[in-house]
Amino acid sequence: MSELVFFSGTMDCGKSTLALQIGHNRAARGLQGVIFTRNDRAGAGKLSSRLGLVTEAVEATETMDLYAYVVDRLSQGGKADYVIADEAQFLAPDQIDQLARIVDDLGLDVFAFGITTDFRTKLFPGSQRLVELADRIEQLQVEALCWCGARATHNARTVGGEMVVDGAQVVVGDVSSATETGYEVLCRRHHRRRMTSASARAGVLSPDVLPVT
């Protein structure tokens, strides 16, 4: 039976690497897939990993009907044995429904990869819909680590190394950015305290989030 599988985890836990590996393994068996992505760090129409691996992909724009795209490919004699959707948190809920329809109506496996919550710990609409519809949800086994060494469970947005909690839900950045808008993965304790690696090094902790003693 075909499935809609949602692989979730924080930033920097290997989601895109796994997506590339799944595609590689199936290509080695002569299978062809459709790879959708949005807002990849390598630019439009790319699926990339922080390990340096990259492949071509279809940029899933806000208005694209993913189901119609796959049907059109098949109707024109193209091949599609499976679908990969990376950065799935950025997809609209309707597009997640289209992925589910690819599974149900076309009998293809769909592997979706994304983070569940944003820098404010709020669900991305696309991820919420995946939780509601997925046949299976897989937590990535490669654990990203907070600066303190604990398992990272939250994504923090940073500006100049300082955590921010206001702004648009979608701002493209990466965990390697230290001077402009970037991201850092933190454990829940340090996310609640807004304590990034930079502020920890400086010995800074915002007084409005100090624990009550």
Report pLDDT digits (tens) over 41-99: 767 777 777 667 777 889 999 999 999 999 999 999 999 999 999 999 999 999 999 99
Report the pLDDT value the prediction gives residue 119, as an integer from 0 to 100.
Answer: 86
Q: How far is it, in rounded angstroms, from Cα 156 to Cα 163?
A: 6
Give the residue from 175, 171, 198 showing the smallest Cα distance to 185. Answer: 175
How far CA 6 is from CA of 15, 91, 156, 169, in Å, comes to 10, 13, 22, 21
**Of the candidates 18, 38, 11, 7, the residue with the CA atom closest to the CA atom of residue 153:** 11
- Number of residues that make up the chain: 213
23 class by beta-carbon count within 10 Å (0-12 exposed, 13-18 middle, 19+ buried): buried
pTM: 0.78
- Quote the pLDDT of residue 15: 80
- Token code pair at residue 76: 């024109």
Name the stretches of the chain with pLDDT < 70. Answer: 42, 50-51, 141-142, 172-179, 204-213
**Which residues are designated catalytic?**
87
Domain ranges of the chain: 4-139, 154-203
Tell me yes or no: is domain 4-139 CATH 1.10.10.60: no
pLDDT of residue 212: 42
Spatial distance between the Cα atoms of 3 and 23, rounded to a whole number of angstroms: 16
The CA distance from 162 to 195, in Å, is 8
